[in-house]
Structure 1
Amino acid sequence: MSTFTFDLDREPGLYFLHDCFVVPEANRAAFTDRMEQNLAFIRTLPGFRGHLVLEQRDGASAFNLVTLAAWASREAYEDAGREVRAHYQRLGFDLPADLKRWGVEMVRGTYQAAAIRTSQP
């Protein structure tokens, strides 16, 4: 487990990647092994600020794993995306094909902090 903290006052341009997964139990080990390998590479990229993996314990959502990765900026996120795709190509890793083979469903979104006050001054 790693520490995941962020300070929007210090870095107001943080950019977040949010992935939601439905991972069949039979393929959970293969999926999480690949996730850990990917994260080991992503941690080396400029602008990476942290990563969090959440596992569903209760509720109506179909997703049993959710990840949140923070980047210093949208530009850092986009640069990292190019680096990750090149890394996958060097490895011969085909993410869409493996997700299909494992029966994993994924929904992805990117976010920035909303201009909504969440605390009192």
Structure 2
Amino acid sequence: MKQIFIDKFVIPQNGKQEFTQRMNFNRDFIKNLPGFLGDAAYERADDNGNMICITVANWESEDALNQAKQKVQAEYQRIGFNPAELLARLNITMEREIFQPLAN
């Protein structure tokens, strides 16, 4: 069954540029992984000037998503990137959910 991986980020104004660079790196990386079906990113500003960003990645199966997660973590380790540190340093909050398409 297809898996839809959805992240919601709230990024303070001072972290927007660095966050966007990292997000684009990640989006480019996953596009080459097996089982990747496509992605999208959306943004808006809230009343406080924070960037609200939603990313959506579609995967052909739960197995493909799990393998992609492992490959992403291995790439982070290879390049010395710590996502938790980035989120904490830039005061970014994140919510993550996995969905499946609605059955007809």
Under a length normalisation based on structure 1, what TM-score does the superposition of the two structures give? 0.78
Structure with greater proportional strand content: 2
- Corresponding residue SS for 1:55: strand
Please show how residues 32-111 of structure 1 align to structure 2 within 5 Å: 32-56=20-44, 64-111=52-99
In structure 1, distance between residues paired with 2:45 and 2:6: 18
Moved runs in structure 1, 4+ residues, more than 4 A? none
| Cα RMSD (Å) | 1.8
With a CA cutoff of 8 Å and minimum separation of 6, indicate the structure with the bigger relative contact order.
Answer: 2
Q: How many residues are aligned here?
A: 102
Q: Give the deviation of 1:56 after TM superposition.
A: 2.4
Structure with greater proportional helix content: 2
In structure 2, distance between residues paired with 1:66 and 1:88: 21
Q: Give the deviation of 1:114 after TM superposition.
A: 2.2
Unaligned runs of 5+ residues in structure 1 are 1-12
Unaligned runs of 5+ residues in structure 2 are none
Under a length normalisation based on structure 2, what TM-score does the superposition of the two structures give? 0.91
Q: 1:57 to 1:22 in 2, by over 3 A?
A: closer
- Computing the radius of gyration from Cα coordinates, the structure with the larger value is 1
